[in-house]
Amino acid sequence: MNKPWQPYAEHILDAIAKIRRIQQRGDITKDDILYDAALRNLQTLSESTQRIPDTLRAAYPQVPWREMSGFRNILVQLSRRYRP
């Protein structure tokens, strides 16, 4: 049974909104709390893009779906190496 994709789309939009608010609070390279918050929301965003069906992705080819879903792996690697 396939799960509905709509909650994942909401996760994406929520993560984007939270990242924008985090950016307004300060420099994530100088504040580990902001860094962690931004990182977590970027992970949520990238993981949620993996749950969007291919038919919906095809309807929006201007969105870099593949890059966003692959970005999670980059985030995990970077978070292990870089801490503010």
**DSSP output for 40-65:** HHHHHHHHHHTTS-HHHHHH-TTS-H
**Any residues with CB less than 8 A from the CB of 62 and at least 6 apart, and which?**
none
Cα within 13 Å of Cα(46), Cβ side? 17
CA dist 28 to 35, 55, 83, Å?
5, 35, 10
Answer for the pair 41, 15: CB distance below 8 angstroms, yes or no.
yes
pTM: 0.80
Give the span between the Cα atoms of 77 and 4, in whole angstroms: 30
- The pLDDT of residue 84 is 54
Average pLDDT, the chain: 89
Q: What is the pLDDT of residues 27-60, one digit of tens each?
A: 999 999 998 999 899 999 999 999 999 999 999 9
